[in-house]
Amino acid sequence: MTLNMESQFSKLSLINELLESLSNLGYMDMTPIQEKSLPLIIKGNDVIAQAKTGSGKTAAFGLGILNSLNTSSNNLHSLILCPTRELAEQVASELRKLSRALPNVKILTLCGGSPENLQDRSLKSGVHIAIGTPGRVLQHLKKGSLNLDSLNIFTLDEADRMLDMGFEEELNEIISHLPKKKQSLLFSATYPENIASLSERFQKDALKVQIDTTHEESNIEEIFYEVSPTQDKNNILYKILSSSKPKRVIVFCRTKKETADVADFLLNRNIKAKCINGDLEQNERNEVLAKFSNRSLSILVATDVAARGLDIKDLEAVINYNMPSGADAYIHRIGRTGRAGKKGLAFSFFNPAEEFRLNEIKDLTKKDCIIEDPKKLSYKEKYNLIPPMKTMYISGGKKDKIRKGDILGALTGEAKMKFEDIGEIHIFNAFSFVAIKRKNIDLAIKRLSQGRIKKKKFKVGLA
């Protein structure tokens, strides 16, 4: 790989431990948002950074936070707010990777779906970086289990979505607890007027960085279909899948009921799909997202709110079953495909009364919208989409101090599975999921159920 010498992390004033972690992770070149924002963050400036999904913004603010962290103190150094639990977990995971070479960094997520009393205990023993959703963070502030007096850096991640989701009141209350002297960072995919207003409430002389907020035309092929109220959208969806044959897809719907109906339609046609919406319990959400991430699930049908914070590698297509409310939201949706220089597909349904939405997208992207007739799509009765992996359930997790290496060692050792047959491993508090090649899942379950992980027996089965 040819390195761009002008965009290497080594030219920054980063501590050696972070440079070591970056090298071990294979992060050699900075992304544009990192190159523009990191020097400002390291210098201690307040920053407003606008960049699309998948641009590397987490590492941008994460490295800045970790670079100024003093682990000899147990005081809270940084608070990061995210719109959803899933994004908070992803940010925490990324920061843990970046801080591997740093000793004793304590990172805690403060989100709903996890017991408050366990979070209370962790906060009492000392946390360096807290990452949470506005609702749960505010609960801890109100009862005094979270204190921000010693806070050095405050970060809002995906600030535009927090406002879209109605968190403005909670954000204002959290901001009222912030110390006057602090560094403040705001990251957002879009920059509507209310973001500027929000920035004024907690930032001082913030420097604005704006990078690639639209997507390169060559990366994502975008096609729009005009669908009348009398046409069957499900059959059009099926025809799109049949003709383009993507292996992993997110279908965006407007309502929770719609997500369930579309997922049922696809399942009835032997296409492995699951919906994710606000009705799912946290454990159910974790399972669905883990399966989609590890290729045990082909299609995720989601509302915008439920899909916030997803960062799925190699997503081949996005389908807008309904048009989003604005051009910025459209850019954010389709930005989940066509990442890291790879090609992506984006299909969108619109009704005749929504032509103005296409004009908004055209004005923002500076390119014409390609409109095609859904009647010209081909139809194949026997089309199906079976994912290459299945997911194994293990009844042990973080509370049992299980690590990915422990599971991998048990599978390749006692269970005698080949390394190439094992996919992603997700470890949660009380359980774990492991992706295994579909043809070998039964053998893996049988062998591991007879073996041990860290000298202990766990229940093993098909998730």
Q: What is the pLDDT of residues 113-145, one digit of tens each?
A: 788 899 999 999 999 999 999 999 999 999 999
What pLDDT digit, counting tens, does each position of 93-105 carry? 999 999 998 988 9
**Is 0.75 surpassed by the pTM of this model?**
no
Q: What is the pLDDT of residue 307?
A: 61
* Sheet hosting strand 207-210, strand order edge to edge: 107-110, 129-132, 78-81, 153-157, 183-188, 47-50, 207-210
Q: Give the pLDDT band of residue 459 (cuts 50, 70, 90).
A: very high
In the chain, the domains with their CATH numbers are 5-210 (3.40.50.300), 220-376 (3.40.50.300), 389-462 (3.30.70.330)
What pLDDT digit, counting tens, does each position of 62-86 carry? 999 999 999 888 899 999 999 888 8
193 vs 90 pLDDT, higher one? 90
CB atoms within 10 A of CB 174: 22
Contact 51, 211 (CB under 8 A): yes
pLDDT(251) > 80: yes
Q: Give the pLDDT band of residue 53 (cuts 50, 70, 90).
A: low
What pLDDT digit, counting tens, does each position of 197-218 carry? 899 889 999 999 987 555 444 5
d(CA 319, CA 250): 6
What pLDDT digit, counting tens, does each position of 384-437 carry? 788 999 999 999 998 898 988 899 989 988 889 998 999 999 998 889 999 999
Sequence-distant (6+) residues with CB within 8 A of 190 are 50, 160, 213, 328, 331, 332
